Amino acid sequence: MDARDRLISATQELLWVRGYAATSPKEIQTSAGAGQGSMYHHFHGKEDLAVAALQRSARLLRDDSEALLQAPGTAVERLTSYLRQQRDSLRGCRMGRMTYDADVLATPALLEPVTATLDWLVTAIAEVIRQGVEDRELQADTDPEALACTVAAVVQGGYVLARAHHDTSRFDAAVEGAVALLNQAHRG
């Protein structure tokens, strides 16, 4: 793993834990075991490096979710396995958290991977729901886009609740409440 790679990895980690504005180039360098000169040789600056890190994190998030959402099984089963996915819920969502970082919102290059990832996620969930409606597994009057937003929001909001109480069980509870509702909709 060369210096460039270590810099990106360290930035991914720090962006997740501290956010963009609160992460200094110095922290990144220390964490990556790279000097200042190395960082400014490989990247134009903090923003450029953060874009590379966010793109890599976006890819990871997308791959993880895709595997669960497109696995075999009924729609409710796939939604359930997505919701119950093993998560380090106190850390929150590495993409979703960026929406509360003022610098990210103000910098199109930083915001773009966040927007694209959450957009992709909602679309992928909606596709599962659409299939469930088609298979008469979910009620015909279900709005796939709306329910997809609800499912994605439960995860994003579950992180907020867990972080507020420093307690992962808040996240788990939010997910289980959603799973129960989906199963009632299934039976209903």
Partner DNA sequence: GTCTATAAAACGATAGAC
Partner DNA sequence: GTCTATCGTTTTATAGAC
* Binding positions for a second copy, rule: CB under 8 A: 17-19, 21-22, 92-93, 95-97, 99-103, 105, 114-115, 118-119, 122, 139, 141-143, 145-161, 163-166, 170, 173-178, 180-182, 184-185, 187-188
**Which of a second copy, DNA, none lies near 142, with the C-beta cut-off 5 to 8 A by kind?**
a second copy
Asked whether position 46 contacts DNA by CB under 7 A, the answer is: yes
Distances (CA, A) of 126 to 4, 5, 68, 115, 122: 37, 35, 14, 16, 6
| CA 40 distance to own-chain centroid | 28
Instruction: Say how far apart CA 149 and CA 132 lie, in whole Å.
Output: 16
**Residue (39 or 155) nearer to DNA, CB:** 39
**Which of a second copy, DNA, none lies near 128, with the C-beta cut-off 5 to 8 A by kind?**
none
Span from 23-31, 125-133, 165-173, 179-187 in contact with DNA (CB under 7 A): 23-31
Token pair listed for 65: 């979710």
Instruction: Say how far apart CA 175 and CA 151 lie, in whole Å.
Output: 9
- Could you say which of 24, 70, 115, 169 contacts DNA (CB under 7 A)? 24
The DSSP annotation for 44-72 comes to SSHHHHHHHHHHHHHHHHHHHHHHHHTSS
| Half-sphere exposure at residue 53, Cβ-oriented, CA atoms within 13 angstroms | 27
DSSP state of 96: G
Span from 40-48, 67-75, 136-144, 157-165 in contact with DNA (CB under 7 A): 40-48
**Which of a second copy, DNA, none lies near 133, with the C-beta cut-off 5 to 8 A by kind?**
none
Are 56 and 118 in contact by the 8 Å Cβ rule? The answer is: no
- Could you say which of 9, 19, 47, 107 contacts DNA (CB under 7 A)? 47
**Which of DNA, a second copy, none lies near 25, with the C-beta cut-off 5 to 8 A by kind?**
DNA
**Residue (70 or 169) nearer to a second copy, CB:** 169
